[in-house]
Amino acid sequence: MKKTALYLVLIFSLAINIAIAATLGFHYWRGPGRGRAGLMCGQKPLRMFMRENLQLEGEEIARFQTLFSRNREDLLHLRDQISQERQMLLDLIGNHEVDQAQIDQQIERISALQAKMQKIVVSQIINMKSYLPEEKQRKLLEAFRQRPGCGSFGQGPLGFGKKRGRW
């Protein structure tokens, strides 16, 4: 009986190791960005959202993806700057001697960068909206209203999420 139990544990362990190796191999094969959506709208890739929810066709979808990709690098750069400025704010807060004036200045820098980012995104949305008929504009705006953290660039329609390359 002991020998049978040992064989079962060994087979079970082997099965788990094979599953882990297969998963790691798949993710390695897929590579960074391969098979992942670039622009997201809710939980859908932007292309799928445009096709299914807005009933747009290939040429219209390509036009909108071009509109979004124009400012993509600027937005990613701003996001990185905001992250660095937030880290500096945390460093200021963590100092033994807290200087409220420096903290206020740092908050202002972060706010200015966030405002810059917001203006770029709103400009893109207005530009996109100008190409859509009224019914499709309504559907697009409804998707924005339903996203989590509306207005905070969180994960949601056309939001960044946590991974680079989502915008």
Contact 33, 165 (CB under 8 A): yes
158: in domain: no
Q: Residue 53 has what pLDDT?
A: 76
Q: Residue 82 has what pLDDT?
A: 94
Instruction: Compute the radius of gyration of the chain from its Cα atoms.
Output: 23
Q: Residue 154 has what pLDDT?
A: 43
The per-residue b/e assignment along 34-67, b for 16 or more CB within 10 angstroms, e otherwise, is: eeebebbbbebebbebbbebbebeeebbeebeee
Q: Give the pLDDT of the chain (167 residues) as one tens digit per residue.
A: 688 888 888 898 989 999 998 888 887 777 654 444 445 555 566 677 777 777 888 888 888 888 778 888 888 899 999 999 999 999 999 988 989 999 999 999 999 999 999 999 888 888 888 888 888 888 878 877 776 554 444 444 444 444 444 43
Q: Residue 6 has what pLDDT?
A: 86
Task: Give rounded-to-5 percent helix, strand, coil for the chain.
Answer: 70, 0, 30
pLDDT above 70 coverage of the chain, percent: 77
Domain count for the chain: 1
Q: Residue 111 has what pLDDT?
A: 95
79: in domain: yes
Closest CA to 43 of 153, 163, 148: 148
| Residue 99: domain span | 36-146
Q: Residue 60 has what pLDDT?
A: 81
83: in domain: yes
Position 104: which residue type? D
92: in domain: yes
162: in domain: no
